[in-house]
Structures are given as C-alpha cells and as structure tokens.
Amino acid sequence: MIGELGLRYRPASQADLESHAAALALLASDVADVPPDYLARAIAKHVVESPYLPKACDLIRIAKSFIPVRQHDGPEKETTAQRLNRLMDQDPNSRRDIRWFPDAVGNGAHLETIGPITGPVSRAA
C-alpha cells in the first residue's frame, strides 16, 4: 500500500529518488501496526484530500477516525462508580453489603462496606 502511495506522490526531481524511497520506508515502518483495512481507507481518504505525501501521524489519525465508538448500556454521563453499582445491582449473585464510591480524583472508584452481608458470598476452599 505504501509503495503505491509513493507512486502517487513522486519526487520533484530524479535526484530526490533515494530520499523519497527512504521516506516511504520510514512511513511503512511507522504505520506497520495499523490494521490493513483501516490503513487502506486512510490512504484513500488522504489521496483525495491532499496533494502532499502524508506523514505517519496523518494516516494514523485518519485510520483512528474509522474505529467505531463503543457504546455502553448506561446513561451517557454516568460516573464509573454509578456504572459499577448499576452493574452490580443487575447481578443477582453480587453482594449487597458493598457499594462503589467515586475516588478523590473523580475518575475512578473504590469499594466500601455499607452494612452487614446481605447477598451471596463465595468462599474459596
């Protein structure tokens, strides 16, 4: 794919062929971990939008835009603690004596005991 991209964006003079080949080799190395289908789509999009040879960051940014956004099953502005409590409430085997609370920073959660054990507890043998 990168080789074909290099043919689309030829160097201005014959003397620049070696540096052009080196740039393509580096570009191929930099995007090697991008899934081929995303890379092909990113190249196709870049070709119609820019007259210049792309940098790796350009192709990676475009490829990332094709990754579908994962939807979760809760409210949109649900905190981590709220989500974990909701999931725990939906599980009939979860303990009812513990709850998740937001941590001090607000982007995580920690467990706290809120009363006597009222739900199933599994004991390791």
List all residues 6 or more positions away from 112 whose beta carbon is below 8 Å from its beta carbon: 98, 99, 101
Q: For helices 56-64 and 36-49, what crossing angle results, to 10°?
A: 110
Question: Of 33-37, 105-109, 110-114, 120-124, where does mean pLDDT reach its minimum?
Answer: 120-124
Question: According to the model, what pLDDT value does residue 124 have?
Answer: 47
* Gap between the Cα atoms of 21 and 53, Å rounded: 12
Residue 70: which pLDDT band, with cuts at 50, 70 and 90? low
Q: Where are the domains of the chain?
A: 2-64, 80-113
Global pTM reads 0.53
Query: 9-56, pLDDT tens digit by residue?
Result: 888 777 688 888 888 999 999 999 999 999 999 999 999 999 999 999
Residues in the chain: 125
